[in-house]
Amino acid sequence: MTQAALITGITGQDGAYLAQLLLNKGYAVSGLLPRRSSDTLWRLRELRIEGDVNLIDGDVADLSAVLRGIRESKAAEVYNLAAQSFVGTSWQQPLLTAQVSGVGAANVLEAIRLTDPAIRFYQASTSEMFGLIQAERQDETTPFYPRSPYGVAKLYAHWMTINYRESFNLHASTGILFNHESPLRGIEFVTRKVTDGVARIKLGLQKELRLGNIDARRDWGFAGDYVDAMWRMLQQEKGDDYVVATGHTTTVREMCRIAFSHVGLSYEDHVVIDPKFFRPAEVDVLLGNPAKAERLLGWTATTSLEQLISMMVDADMRRAREGRPQA
């Protein structure tokens, strides 16, 4: 019998890569699709899987829609990737962020409890929950100190997942994912803003790249690697919490250097620091310790930052040459 999975946030970066992974493993894949923007399907088209997934209209903020999605998909595994995921926007839309990124997860958990408690659940937690870091390297035992409405909302979802696991014996796991990028990243995120800017500067379409704090440090990996960790969590005997990271940290400045040098340019000639891109409360350093995921899941990041950034610049060069939207 074909295994069935439901992905909320299927049109996002992680949702698209996870759908591709599950399809390659023979799953019947459904996705809950909120109709919030004009073109939400471009990532599925990029991976050439748009016609292979079953899209169900619905929003995680609506419990009835989640219940319907679980029934229609006949899912044995549910991956909750839906979120208002851009940290910067969460200060302008804190209540929407709370409803989608926080309460939305509780809706999915409650829908599973009411429908079939045997369904296995994955919650997309985030390194932004660590915020003002309490340890040099963050692992599953590091205290949380979120520094944005996004981080706070995600922390609620994280603890609700643990609470449902302990209260109702659900197979519920959280992946505390550190920054993970790809050619499918939205243009509002700094890595994609950089690689798109590099491509457009190289092709003469713009002259400068305006950024905020380029000395912030992040642990960056490839989203295509990280969705494999999600799947592995739901194949374990019981649910648990895992940090998913590369274990290496790099500044935005160094990431810029890698991206510009890939096309034979120097970042110092084109990057302009603009105070309007500084966050109200900055997270200066994030560095994950993925030892538990390596030990229990057999998972490790396989794509280097240099490979990742080169992949993203090349994809943005193709888009810019073809005159395609930045997306």
- Asked if 160 contacts 239 with a C-beta cutoff of 8 angstroms, the reply is no
User: Among 27, 79, 122, 150, which one carries the catalytic annotation?
Assistant: 150
Q: Give the span between the Cα atoms of 309 and 91, in whole angstroms.
A: 28
As a whole number of angstroms, the distance between CA 273 and CA 210 comes to 6
For residue 265, the SS3 value is: coil
Task: List the structure tokens of 320.
Answer: 């810019």
Q: Annotated catalytic residue: which of 128, 174, 195, 242?
A: 128
- 128 catalytically annotated: yes
First to last CA, the chain: 38
Question: Residues 56, 31: contact at Cβ < 8 Å?
Answer: yes
How far apart CA 290 and CA 243 sit, in angstroms, is 5
d(CA 210, CA 193): 9
Helix (H, G, I), strand (E, B) or coil at 56: strand
Query: Please, what is the Cα angle at 219 between 213 and 224, to 5 degrees?
Result: 120
Query: 227-264: b or e for each residue (b if 16 or more CB lie within 10 Å)?
Result: bbbbbbbbeeeebbbbbbbbbebbebbbbbbbbbbbbe
Residues contacting residue 167 through CB under 8 Å, at least 6 positions apart: none
List the catalytic residue out of 11, 97, 126, 250: 126
Q: Nearest-CA neighbor of 221 among 125, 132, 306, 101?
A: 306
Strand partners, 25: none
The single-letter DSSP state of residue 138 is B
242 assigned to active site:
no
Structural tokens at position 300: 């490790």
Partners of 175 in beta bridges = 124, 242
Which are the catalytic amino acids?
A: 126, 128, 150
